[in-house]
Chains A and B, each alone.
Chain A
């Protein structure tokens, strides 16, 4: 079986951003559940946090392609 170690490394590295995304949106859901009026206040914060966490996952993907 052949493949690249880079892709295996990327697969392992998605543990972090995956957990982070789950935590961020768990906090957002909790916040909206406790106070539904806060939805529009919390939503930009949730998406900002998600984009920052996802950035790291995508660095891993891009570097896996670039540094084969």
Chain B
């Protein structure tokens, strides 16, 4: 009666991240896809509204929009990329706001699903970053010189190249995109899973015997506390993704290699 043998409670697993299509029978009409479209509509509406009737003394909405843009442009663009940063500000800004909005859907009531916890979404934006930093480097240095700089960094004693070349090559072509996508995906997946465990667990405790009903209070309050923690993690992950993109672009533009 106090402690059942676990019968009746199915812990959340990765099956909770699969959704059935809302209409039709393809995978392109599931909830994450609609959340993705919603995020684009929200971002566009917010920034169009904040930039209309731009005044010298900004209104609150204009100030909010300008703060976000200024943050991405200065802290993530100018300071990291340096000289030619303006070319990349639209890309970095879109990345930052897109990842942030989609992450925040994880704690917004009624939506409550971070779209970046489906691996396809981080893969798509990582592909954009991957193409971007290779393209920028090849445009600036030429393909052969770029390959030579990756595989045979100057200023290193010759025997070290045996170890360094495969590691550097793997870093530029495999490790960077892999970790970039997986970092975002894993953070959102783990966060959503934690929230599911405490919420569903609290609900299960609520349906059980008398003593366990009281314990469900702790489960629900933990879920609330974790939501605030998740908010911090979501903002941090959006910042990290954009920062790393800017760092990779800065590395591609760097002259000393």
Contact = CB atoms under 8 A, between A and B. Distances in A.
Contact of A65 (B13, B182, B187): B13
A62 B237 contact: no
A55 B186 contact: yes
Interface string B85-113: 00000000000000000000000000000
B204 interface: no
B121 interface: no
Interface residues of A, number: 13
A51 B236 contact: yes
B185 A62 contact: yes
Given A51-B183, A65-B13, A66-B14, A58 B190 contact: yes
Contacts of B185: 62
A44 interface: yes
Interface residues of B, number: 17
Interface string B170-209: 0000000001001101110110010000000000000000
Contacts of A44: 75, 243
A17 to B, nearest CB: 12
Contacts of A47: 236, 239-240
Interface of B: 13-14, 75, 179, 182-183, 185-187, 189-190, 193, 236-237, 239-240, 243
